[in-house]
Amino acid sequence: MNLIGLDEKIGHRLTQEYGLNIKEAVLNLPSEILLFAFILLSCLAGFILGYNWYRIFKAKTK
């Protein structure tokens, strides 16, 4: 399945329609690095979420 993100889909369509040339990203990392960062940061965010959820809801009630 190859789905494009909403913002990109509409944004690209409109910018092409109005003749604006989309510039290259300032930082353009290869897709493998992006996938690695995506997984790593998702895990990190999950850990932060879980740990602080525990601190808020469980730690003090024990």
Q: Which residues bind other proteins (CB under 8 A)?
A: 1-15, 17-18, 20-29, 31, 34-35, 37-38, 41-42, 45-46, 48-49, 52-53, 55-57
Helix (H, G, I), strand (E, B) or coil at 2: coil
- The two structure tokens encoding residue 8: 């990109």
- The two structure tokens encoding residue 3: 């789905």
Nearer to other proteins, 25 or 62 (CB): 25
Instruction: Report yes or no: 22 and 15 within 8 Å, Cβ to Cβ.
Output: yes
Q: State the amino acid at position 49 in one-letter form.
A: L
Q: How far is the CB of 24 from other proteins (least distance, A)?
A: 7
Q: How far is the CB of 29 from other proteins (least distance, A)?
A: 7
